Amino acid sequence: MMLSTDKTFPVACSWCLWTLLSLCYGLEFRYHNSAEVEKYLREVTRNYPSFTYRYNIGRSVEGRHLWVLVLGKSPKEHNVGIPEFKYVGNMHGNEVVGRVLLLQLIDYLTKGYHNNPFVTRLLDSTRVHILPSMNPDGFESSSRDCMAGFGRYNSNGVDLNRNFPDIFSGEDEERREFEVLAIMDWMKQERFVLSANLHGGAVVASYPYDNSNRGGELQEGASVSPDNDVFIHLAKTYSYSHTQMHRGNACSDSNFPHGITNGYQWYALPGGMQDYNYVWQQCLEITLELSCCKFPPERELPGFWEANRPALLAYMQQVHLGVKGQVLDADGNPVQNALVEVEGRINLCPFRSGPYGEYYRLLLPGNYTFKVTFPGHEMLIETLTVPYGPENFSALKHNFLLERSVNASTPPTPTKPCSTSGVQPQDSHSAALLATPIITLLPLLLISLLM
């Protein structure tokens, strides 16, 4: 009896001490390694079981779990009408500020729920998933300096932000890395509405597209998506809620108007995660570059938290832009896979209703005409006046009620596949197209070493 008590006593005691210290003083500002992150997330779910939940989405090449902490009123499952949000940190293993900030954010949200009105409203209306490190192997092998690339790649030497399927690159048969497959599977499980992906090496909010096939999406050097207005608003929400980012000149020789940039306009990037989120998964994602130095000294971490905290919070609230609801048939049954399109926005992969017939469409305030189509049903066209949802932590709620087609012989609406065909290449660029790989390769290589 005594023996076993003796053995567990130091363990229990150090656990008490850790819990007590973190409850009183908050999470320490330093670089926690993968084992410490795992331990911290376990403590969080032990201390706050009613609104936090921990799960992993897979393993890295070296077998480290990719841990996610989810926070929300109902953390273990999706609820109709509650949007899913995510933050992903440390995709490049040596870009570490985001990883630290996401742990601090977890600390802040857990302490604020039922204490701080903003946090309470946020977590009552949103399910927030946080993956502090997408590339733990890279982190563990990083050198602690500002620019050297050690640790950027995963354990196979692959840049994870070049390894996603890319509609602009055509039929690529690229081998996907474990970490990338984990994200892709995760996005099949949870239908995320809004996301951000945290990097370092600059201070700017970058938004899709990152790539282009030099088609009609190119406008004055930017690769412009149909939801460009929403993306600019999202990026500015972050940069203007951040203490310095909106000035656009945080790092030497940088000049980003408003602290934002179109990804492609900055530098072309094939196989990136933000284009994948948006194009293939209908999740609006932006890329946040949060520090000039990729691996800054620990003493600077509290300053990064103060600069980014309001921006991290304001950005999450934007998940409530636009319209949300269900597509229902004449009997009130949810209709999955209906096309839910907004006039004037031809998305490369159309937005569709999900399980429970749910859809979310992030839009700025204004009037929008929706077109909802599903085989065997009349096409539904409705115009909605959309208010500014974040103010009330809720998008406009609207259900689309489909009617069965009166004409039984009406052929089913063809289901639209994903394609860039709506985006016609400009002029006759066939010669230029051949030359582009060579022209774009050099700057791309140079810049990819920097970011």
Q: Which stretch binds Zn ion (CB under 5 A): 94-102, 109-117, 228-236, 378-386?
A: 94-102
Identify the helix (H) or strand (E) that includes residue 430. Answer: helix 430-450
Residue 412 class from Cβ within 10 Å (0-12 exposed, 13-18 middle, 19+ buried)? exposed
Pairing mode, if any, of strands 65-71 and 192-199? Answer: unpaired
Shorter beta-carbon distance to ligand NAG: residue 383 or 428 = 383
Which residue's beta carbon is nearest to the bound Zn ion?
A: 199
Least gap, CB of 74 to Zn ion (angstroms): 33
Q: Which of 32, 64, 92, 324 binds Zn ion (CB under 5 A)?
A: 92
With CB cut-offs between 5 and 8 Å by kind, which of ligand NAG, Zn ion, none does residue 409 bind? ligand NAG
Shorter beta-carbon distance to ligand NAG: residue 254 or 405 = 405
Buried/exposed code over 167-196 (b: 16+ C-beta within 10 A; e: otherwise): bbeeeeeeebbbbbebbbebbeebbbbbbb
Closest C-alpha to 180, from 278, 54, 272, 87? 272
Does residue 28 have an active-site annotation?
Answer: no
With CB cut-offs between 5 and 8 Å by kind, which of ligand NAG, Zn ion, none does residue 95 bind? Zn ion
Query: How far apart are alpha carbons 358 and 236 in whole angstroms?
Result: 28
Binding residues for ligand NAG (CB under 6 A): 366-367, 385, 387-388, 391-392, 407, 409-410
With CB cut-offs between 5 and 8 Å by kind, which of Zn ion, ligand NAG, none does residue 172 bind? none
Binding of residue 95 to Zn ion (CB under 5 A): yes
381 DSSP β-pair partners: 371
Site track 163-202 with Zn ion (rule: CB under 5 A), x = hit: ------------------------------------x---
Number of residues in contact with Zn ion under rule CB under 5 A:
3
- In the 8-state DSSP scheme, what is residue 344? T
- DSSP for 350-417 reads --B--GGGEEEE---SEEEEEEEE-TTB--EEEEEEE--GGGGT-PEE--EE--B-S-TTPPPPPPPP
Least gap, CB of 248 to ligand NAG (angstroms): 30
Query: How far apart are alpha carbons 322 and 301 in whole angstroms?
Result: 35
Least gap, CB of 366 to ligand NAG (angstroms): 5
Residue 290 class from Cβ within 10 Å (0-12 exposed, 13-18 middle, 19+ buried)? buried
Least gap, CB of 410 to ligand NAG (angstroms): 5
Least gap, CB of 235 to Zn ion (angstroms): 16
Least gap, CB of 376 to ligand NAG (angstroms): 12
With CB cut-offs between 5 and 8 Å by kind, which of ligand NAG, Zn ion, none does residue 199 bind? Zn ion
The answer to whether the beta carbons of residues 316 and 388 sit under 8 Å apart is no
The active-site residue out of 177, 289, 341, 358 is 289
Closest C-alpha to 41, from 140, 135, 126, 110? 110
With CB cut-offs between 5 and 8 Å by kind, which of Zn ion, ligand NAG, none does residue 255 bind? none
With CB cut-offs between 5 and 8 Å by kind, which of ligand NAG, Zn ion, none does residue 410 bind? ligand NAG
- Looking at the annotation, which residues are catalytic? 289
